[in-house]
Chain A
Amino acid sequence: MAKGILRVKAKVSGGKTKVKLMAKHIMESGQRKDKKTGELIPARFLQELKIMHAGKEVFVANLGTAVSKNPYFAFNFAGGASGDELTMTWIENTGETATETAKVK
């Protein structure tokens, strides 16, 4: 597996798991021009992101090109315990995809 692009902080507090997540990704919108050639840079962005905890979906995002570079998401879900594993799958518009994992603190 390629080196992960997701940076995750997940913490348990008050029966909930709070997740902060950032993906290292350029999120090229396909509307920017190459300054030298004047040609449009092809779009390359994260299209889908899904987080699973204990075999259950806890968060799904369908992204458009207007999500900022290095997309950031914060959300909470009920349950979860320290040491649990989050499984995160992303798909790029180019079809590239990967699954990464992170531990809940």
Chain B
Amino acid sequence: MSINRRSVIKAIAASGALVGASVLVPRIAMAAWTQSAFKAEDQETAMQELLGGTAEESAEVTLKAPDIAENGAVVPVTVRSSLANVESMSVFVEHNPTPLVVEFIIPAGTDADVSTRLRMGKTSKVTAVVKAEGKLYSASKEVKVTIGGCGG
């Protein structure tokens, strides 16, 4: 008899392991979401928790955002950098309840040029922080908000 108890058990164990692996892999491969940084209520703490330092202003970081945002619920921003080997780009809104808005991980081959839309509770400074070769560079811009996008 070719199908004996042992081979059946082996087959079950192997398929079980496969299913388990395929479920688990995407979770592990995901970059970690830094809870402490996203929950932080002031910008300095958020920056420290996320990037482990403070950034210096740099002309090689460009933050494109409107001067006046009519609707704080949708504020288009673009972050660009001419620096080499950019690892990540993050956006902070100083006067939001939690200043850290979003962190982009930029793998090699992807341009350091990302656009998104964010929410702003009220008029605030928006800061983009670019991490390149372990160092932090930033650019800021004051955006006026006429109608807030948080709460309500």
**Which residues of chain B are near A58, meaning CB under 8 Å?**
107, 109-110
- Chain A, residue nearest B103 (CB): A62
Contact string, A52-64, partner B, CB cutoff 8 A, digits 1/0? Answer: 0000111111111
**Which residues of chain A are near B102, meaning CB under 8 Å?**
61-64, 66-67
Pick from B26, B97, B117, B151: contact of A67, CB below 8 A: B117
**Which residues of chain A are near B73, meaning CB under 8 Å?**
68-69
Given A48-B30, A61-B104, A62-B31, A32-B152 contact (CB < 8 Å) = yes
Interface residues of A in 56-105 (CB under 8 A from B): 56-69, 71-79, 89, 91, 97, 99
Complex-state Cα separation, A65 to B93, whole angstroms? 12
**A14 vs chain B, min Cβ distance (A):** 12
**Which residues of chain A are near B105, meaning CB under 8 Å?**
57, 59-62
Interface residues of B in 77-113 (CB under 8 A from A): 78, 93, 96-98, 100-107, 109-111, 113
- Chain A, residue nearest B34 (CB): A62
Pick from A33, A67, A72: contact of B119, CB below 8 A: A67
Residues of B participating in the A interface, judged by any CB pair closer than 8 Å: 26-27, 29-31, 33-34, 38, 73-75, 78, 93, 96-98, 100-107, 109-111, 113-120, 149-152
Residues of A participating in the B interface, judged by any CB pair closer than 8 Å: 16, 27, 29, 31-33, 47-48, 50, 56-69, 71-79, 89, 91, 97, 99
Complex-state Cα separation, A78 to B113, whole angstroms? 12
- Chain A, residue nearest B29 (CB): A50
**B148 vs chain A, min Cβ distance (A):** 11
**A74 vs chain B, min Cβ distance (A):** 4
- Could you tell me if A73 and B114 are in contact, using CB atoms closer than 8 angstroms? yes
Complex-state Cα separation, A38 to B101, whole angstroms? 26
Given A67-B116, A68-B119, A76-B110 contact (CB < 8 Å) = yes
**Which residues of chain B are near A66, meaning CB under 8 Å?**
93, 96, 98, 100-102, 118-120, 150
Given A61-B105, A66-B96, A16-B111 contact (CB < 8 Å) = yes
Pick from A65, A72, A75, A91: contact of B98, CB below 8 A: A65
Interchain Cβ contacts under 8 Å between A and B, 20 examples: A16-B111, A31-B150, A32-B150, A32-B151, A33-B152, A47-B33, A56-B107, A60-B31, A62-B38, A63-B101, A65-B119, A66-B93, A67-B101, A67-B102, A68-B74, A68-B75, A68-B116, A74-B115, A76-B110, A76-B111
**B30 vs chain A, min Cβ distance (A):** 5
